[in-house]
Structure 1
């Protein structure tokens, strides 16, 4: 049973430490920036690939230190992502993170993670996170591709219209919820009908 609690984090308001500057570090950094272009990330690695340097240079909210990890790198950090192939270092940082109560993700090591980086479907303001509880990132990726193809590009226009509709509703909370539910139910019926044609 998947007991994970899904949340969406404002990475531009907290500080993230990414340890690892190789291909996996690049993959994690690209995922962060795809979802949160203004994320505040400090990357630490003994060797940082050219592609990672390039990405860091293109953003004013990313910084890097090309050196070995130091315990003091965790000062004022809110979130940690490890992209190293060094089990001893990963365990060391895991222990420090527990002591400091900092949430940690370790690439390809579900047992060391406090949270997972799931696949994400993004269409404008709509964002859908997909989790397999760390069991199969490949299935999550396939579901992402399926939903990405399924959802219409116009969904963002619909979200804007619904936001305006909601902001103009009068009445108490329960009446607003009833009207919104009625309106969205009709919308999805119409979408299904249009797809059948």
Structure 2
């Protein structure tokens, strides 16, 4: 075996290729109607997905949500094929297996909650601050570590980081709208110039001036 070859992965895990799914307006099936399913649905709805929940019993949080289509019945063989993305969140392994097999046969990406062997997609631990999304994955080997790291990052990444992102994005959009190029500008120098400290102190305009000064000097 080559020296730089990866070690064999435990069953059900392996190297992950990180992607971000755009689910707005796309059909997502969640099989299961309990607390775990509800947590999955909250995030899917927040991303604009058109969510259908199928389960014999469905918690009120889901049943009362007008944004979610609920069917109180067992999963029907083959119905995973009618959706772009599927989540299996039941406490019955045979159901999760059937959902996984149907999705795989149809070429549909599927996640099974806490069951990496029945996933073609795993859901990493994540921290959101507006448009900023930071994810942590252990490739299914230790969800506890991923959760621990997420909590540490939540403490580190306060709301000021969201403001920082907006300031940077607005300036980038302004430059592009004026026909300029954002490549080759000293964005990293700007980020290290004390912008975040100014934002933490509530001096947003001062942070913007620092940004413009750094970018102007790099384009001169």
TM-score, normalised by the number of residues in structure 2: 0.74
One of 32, 35, 50 as aligned partner of 1:23: 35
Does the C-alpha gap of structure 1 residues 189 and 136 become closer, same or farther in structure 2, counting only changes over 3 Å? farther
What are the equivalent positions in structure 2 for 1:114-153 lying under 5 Å apart? 114-153=120-159
**Gap runs ≥5 in structure 1:** none
Larger radius of gyration: 2
Per the TM alignment, residue 29 of structure 1 is displaced from its structure 2 partner at its CA by 2.0
Q: Do the aligned partners of residues 177 and 72 (structure 1) sit closer, same or farther apart at CA in structure 2, a change above 3 Å counting?
A: same
Aligned to 1:177, what secondary structure does the other structure show?
Answer: coil
Q: Deviations over 1:132-173 (max 9, x none)?
A: 101111111111111111123122222222122222337775
Q: Deviations over 1:48-88 (max 9, x none)?
A: 12xxx33342332x111001111253353011100112222
Aligned to 1:8: 20
Q: Which whole-Å CA distance do the structure 2 matches of 1:109 and 1:27 have between them?
A: 16
Distance 1:108 1:11, change over 3 A: same
From 27, 32, 49, the equivalent of 1:39 is: 49
Give, in angstroms, the shift of residue 191 of structure 1: 6.2
Q: Which has the higher contact order (CA 8 A, sep 6+)?
A: 1
In the alignment of these two chains, the number of paired residues is 184
Gaps of 5+ in 2: 1-5, 7-13, 199-220
| Aligned pair partner of 1:105 in 86, 102, 111 | 111
Q: When the two structures are superposed, what TM-score results if normalisation uses the length of structure 1?
A: 0.81
RMSD over aligned CA atoms reads 2.4
Q: 1:156 aligns with which of 158, 162, 168?
A: 162
2:65 aligned with 1:58: yes
